[in-house]
Amino acid sequence: MEGSSLYAEHLKEQQRRADRALELGGYDSLLIASGSLRYHFLDDNPFAFKPSPLFRSWLPQVTSSDCWIAYRPGQAPTLIYHQPADYWHQTPQDPQGEWTDHFQVVVSRRREDAAKLLSDNLGRCAILGPEIAAVEGLHPDNPEAVLSVLHYHRAKKTGFELEQMRGANRLAARAHRAAEAAFRAGESEWGIHLRYMAAAGQGETELPYGNIIALNEHAAVLHYQVQDRAVPPAHRSFLIDAGADQLGYAADITRSYASEDGPYAELISAVEEVELALVAMATADQDYAQIHLAAHQLLAEKLRELEIIQIDAEEAVASGVSRTFFPHGVGHLIGLQVHDVGGFQGDESGKQPIAKPDGHPYLRLTRRLQPDYVVTIEPGVYFIPMLLDELRAGPHAGAVNWERVESLLPYGGVRIEDDVRVTDAAPENLSRNAFAEVV
């Protein structure tokens, strides 16, 4: 299918979902705000603007603030398009592109005018958006019954969304290659970060999340947010968790690299083997929480093989020892948000949440997978001093080969993460396909 008809089909699907949400919520119509600028305290500089993901799900091509989508089932949607009279800033361009065929576009010059510009036949209207978007006559109320339906169905990606996510993965894969080269050339975290952004063609506010660019011990900090300007004395290990954006859709990819052969390089190979086995489990009707539990079992087997622990894998999982080395969830839904919404919903009502397995508070997804869900698979093994100290002080200290652990502390850890589309057959690995394409 051509790109243009993919968008038309995508929009129809958003309308079908909205019809259902309005019916279940007892509303006649829907208003969705793109959002408004937020300012730093006592300052006239705004934070970078990101449109609400609810707005983007209908109109990913429109990225400006103070726009509103109005929709009543059976009618073409309206867009209140905010194009202010402003000579201080670049104002949004005149509406253009295929999407204008599907919306009745009404230009607003002042954000306060949005309510006046809407036709008055909206009936009982659910208003979705952040509080800051409120203007006179339009106050977001975000009814839970409506949001739950939209959030639940967002897990399943349309053909248009899959195309954006494949593209985001290609951008990220190209940038990951540039980052690896910068690591091998001995650059600082900051230098690698700059190379990544240049290769992706995206700046910090465009990327879907802050780059995690971690050399050596820093790889043990799960969401390491610093980019050290100093070149470290040695480049032992490199963990990079960095994505890219295409029309609001995210890629989220992690790779780990060793500068030489040895136990850390062996650990990378072991985690990669586990990651591929877990990716293969991402099939239709699979309970995602079981993938997480399988990750613990498989990683514990590798920890044993590599003589990092000295108890059986089963015992390491049952006693919680595996959680010291793998203390996060195995992945999450991904789409318009890196950690996409609806990960625990048992159904569209939102009234049947699926609990996380006991002892696994950081898992973000417990649903059964269905075709066209996109999820990440991201096992890891880390040497985190805070968690190791706790283990050493507790009843399971004898489970660990501490000499081995001490020797691996300077490498921080390993994580390998791909974005994976569930299908009726084998999963589509968006990230690995992207790396293969951008050689």
Beta strands in 247-384 (DSSP E): 249-258, 374-377, 380-382
Nearest approach, Cβ of 378 to ligand GLY (angstroms)?
6
Q: Which of residues 337-366 bind ligand GLY (CB under 6 A)?
A: 338
Out of 376, 377, 430, 435, the only residue in the binding site for Mn ion (CB under 5 A) is 376
If one asks whether residue 252 binds ligand GLY (CB under 6 A), the answer comes out as yes
If one asks whether residue 241 binds ligand GLY (CB under 6 A), the answer comes out as yes
Nearest approach, Cβ of 70 to Mn ion (angstroms)?
34
Asked if 215 and 180 count as a contact pair (C-beta separation under 8 A), the reply is no
Out of 301, 340, 348, 417, the only residue in the binding site for ligand GLY (CB under 6 A) is 417
- Which residue, 146 or 330, has its beta carbon nearer to ligand GLY? 330
- Which residue, 298 or 334, has its beta carbon nearer to ligand GLY? 334
- Which residue, 245 or 252, has its beta carbon nearer to Mn ion? 252
Residues in binding contact with Mn ion, number by CB under 5 A: 5
Q: What does 209 bind: ligand GLY, Mn ion, none (CB cut-off 5 to 8 Å by kind)?
A: ligand GLY
SS (H, E, C) 96-163: CCHHHHCCEEEEECCHHHHHHHCCCCCCCEEEECCHHHCECCECCCCCHHHHHHHHHHCCECCHHHHH
Q: Which stretch binds Mn ion (CB under 5 A): 127-135, 288-296, 416-424, 428-436?
A: 416-424
Q: Which of 432, 421, 438 is nearest to 163 (CA)?
A: 421
- Which residue, 69 or 179, has its beta carbon nearer to ligand GLY? 179
What is the rounded distance in angstroms from the CA atom of residue 420 to the CA atom of residue 275?
A: 11
If one asks whether residue 419 binds ligand GLY (CB under 6 A), the answer comes out as no
- Which residue, 15 or 254, has its beta carbon nearer to Mn ion? 254
Q: What does 190 bind: ligand GLY, Mn ion, none (CB cut-off 5 to 8 Å by kind)?
A: none
Out of 49, 190, 209, 344, the only residue in the binding site for ligand GLY (CB under 6 A) is 209
What are 64's two structure tokens? 């400006």
- Which residue, 161 or 417, has its beta carbon nearer to ligand GLY? 417
| SS3 state of residue 332 | coil
What is the rounded distance in angstroms from the CA atom of residue 302 to the CA atom of residue 118?
A: 61
Q: Which of residues 229-288 bind Mn ion (CB under 5 A)?
A: 241, 252, 254
Asked if 320 and 396 count as a contact pair (C-beta separation under 8 A), the reply is yes
- Which residue, 30 or 251, has its beta carbon nearer to Mn ion? 251
Cα angle 254, 332, 243 (rounded to 5 degrees) comes to 35
Burial class (CB in 10 A: 0-12, 13-18, 19+), 200: buried
Residue 85: alpha-carbon gap to chain centroid: 35
- Neighbour tally for 373: CB within 10 Å: 25
Q: With DSSP H G I counted as helix, E B as strand and the rest as coil, what are the percentages for the chain, rounded to 5? A: 40, 20, 45
Residues forming contacts to Mn ion in the complex (CB under 5 A) are: 241, 252, 254, 376, 417
Q: Which residues bind ligand GLY (CB under 6 A)?
A: 209, 241, 252, 338, 378, 417
